[in-house]
Amino acid sequence: MAKRPSGAGEGPEENGQRAKRLKGTAGEGDAEDQNKRTPKRKIVLLMAYSGKGYHGMQRNLGSSQFKTIEDDLVSALVQSGCIPENHGEDMKKMSFQRCARTDKGVSAAGQIVSLKVRLIDDILEKINNHLPSHIRILGLKRVTGGFNSKNKCDARTYAYMLPTFAFAHKDHDVQEEAYRLSRETLEKVNGLLARYKGTHNFHNFTSQKGPKDPSARRYIMEMYCGEPFVREDIEFAVIKVKGQSFMMHQIRKMIGLVIAIVKGYAPESIIERSWGEEKVDVPKAPGLGLVLERVHFEKYNRRFGNDGLHEPLEWKEEEEKIAVFKEQYIYPTIINTEREEKSMMSWLNTLSIHDFNSSAAEMEADNKNSKNSDVEDSDGCNDDSD
């Protein structure tokens, strides 16, 4: 018996449906082929994210129990068709590099990553469609082929948001919600923060670096506390610090020492003493509130920003989107977590047990005891330790 040819005896409707199916399959194949044919280009992505619930920025392949920001980013890049799946498994294939490695729970309003992608249509929209709402790609720019976001970065600006009752003197009985920062105290805080400007030996502001280690010398361009503001009945302020690069724990210890001085636990002279060779007990402020605010590429911009082929790595047009993201995702997370967990108040209660005149031997013993906790709870400022 002769075999009926495919399509024989089918009605016009069935023929039409079959044609549509074939056309659809062909269309999907065409899209995939088009993606494969699209040349890869070196770009940078401007990222903002709330770090709560993540074990930092950097991906840890083979450690799926600790979710990172890059896990979600790479998944979105693959799903959107920007990179092949095997590039997600081996990030070197797309020349991926983050500008700063933020740590567990730390947020970012201006993280920059550089990588090679296929410049598909509506690329930002497609990537964001595959990301959770608390991670956003806010901008994209083409860069030179050899660009590396970590090596080309001249400076980083971090912000630290804290409740202002942290600056209340230890001898005053303070109600958290009632406290308001006085002009005099704010001026004192800013006078102390300004002392950090310049190049100093910050070996006392990190772990596992000795006073003679040249890498402990760091250059701070500016550091100041802005005007206070009220959220959820609690007054907050934001400290901003701009430096070439930062070591683990450095920013939190810089802020912790200023708080200890303003509260009356430590003398003002301890800042200068901490830059000397002796070991000084420097308290580490809580990680909550630390945000990678902005990264700077001033040398790159001078050389390539106006060459007619590349844009300067500045994000003036994205500033409004950055501000909206901070108000929607970063600040509420910090405020709500502070209200629920009271991390600042708990930490303030530990300041009295610090010995701001402790000897090197005492400090060495204390460091051994705290070594394990330091590894897990780092500052999120490991710009130069990748």
CATH number at 173 reads 3.30.70.660
When pLDDT is cut at 50, 70 and 90, the band that residue 14 belongs to is: low
Q: Are residues 64 and 205 in the same domain?
A: no
Of 121, 151, 181, the residue that ends a domain is 151
Residue 171 included in any domain: yes
The answer to whether 366 is a known catalytic residue is no
CATH of the domain at 87: 3.30.70.580
What digits encode the pLDDT tens for the residues 114-157?
999 999 999 999 999 999 999 999 999 999 989 999 999 999 99
Structure tokens of 227? 């005007």
253's torsion region: left (phi>0), alpha (psi -120 to 50) or beta? alpha
Q: Which of the four pLDDT bands, split at 50, 70 and 90, describes residue 306?
A: confident
User: Does a structural domain hold residue 93?
Assistant: yes
Could you tell me the CA-to-CA distances from 31 to 78, 126, 128, 131, 328 in Å, in that order? 14, 14, 19, 21, 35
Is 4 within the bounds of a domain? no
The answer to the question of residue 296 being in a domain is yes
- Whole-model pTM? 0.83
Q: Which of 151, 178, 204 is the last residue of a domain?
A: 151
pLDDT digits (tens, 9 = 90+) for 277-288: 999 999 999 999
> How does residue 379 score in pLDDT terms, banded at 50, 70 and 90?
very low
The pLDDT score that the predictor gives to residue 212 is 93
Q: For residue 103, how many other CB atoms are within 10 A of its CB?
A: 23
Domain range for 130:
40-151
Q: What gap in Å lies between CA 349 and CA 259, rounded to an integer?
A: 12
185 within some domain:
yes
* 219 annotated binding-site participant: no
- Are 200 and 214 in a shared domain? yes
Domain check: are 144 and 159 in the same one? Answer: no
User: Average pLDDT of 82-107?
Assistant: 86
The region, left, alpha or beta by phi > 0 then psi within -120 to 50, assigned to residue 191 is alpha
Coil vs helix vs strand at 57? coil
Would you state the pLDDT for residue 383? Answer: 53
Looking at the structure, do residues 84 and 175 belong to the same domain, yes or no? no
Q: Helix, strand, coil shares of the chain as percentages rounded to 5?
A: 40, 20, 40
pLDDT at 34: 52
CA-closest candidate to residue 97, choices 24, 148, 141 = 148
How many CB atoms within 10 Å of residue 172? 10
Residue 198, classified by CB atoms within 10 Å of its CB into exposed (0-12), middle (13-18) or buried (19+), is: exposed
Residues in the chain: 386
Per-residue pLDDT tens digits for 329-362: 999 999 999 999 999 999 999 999 998 875 444 4
User: Are 315 and 347 contained in the same domain?
Assistant: yes
User: Is residue 169 located within the same domain as residue 72?
Assistant: no
The answer to whether position 278 is within a domain reads yes
Do residues 141 and 171 share a domain? no
Q: pLDDT tens for residues 232-262?
A: 999 999 999 999 999 989 999 999 999 999 9
The answer to whether 331 touches 231, Cβ cutoff 8 Å, is yes
- Of residues 50 and 35, more confidence is placed in 50
pLDDT digits (tens, 9 = 90+) for 167-203: 999 998 888 889 999 999 999 999 999 999 999 999 9
The last residue of one of the domains, among 151, 181, 205, is: 151
- Tell whether 163 and 115 lie within a shared domain: no
Whether residue 285 is contained in a domain is answered as yes
Q: Are residues 165 and 250 in the same domain?
A: yes
169 domain-assigned: yes
pLDDT tens column, 57-68 = 988 876 667 899
- Both 100 and 161 in a single domain? no
State percent of the chain over pLDDT 70.
82
pLDDT at 104 over 90: no
Q: Is 350 found in the same domain as 209?
A: yes
Average pLDDT over residues 218-229: 98
> Per the structure, how many domains does the chain have?
2
On whether both 46 and 164 belong to a single domain, the answer is no
Active-site residue among 30, 33, 71, 103? 103
Per DSSP, 5 falls in state: P
User: Hey, what are 364's tokens?
Assistant: 């060495």
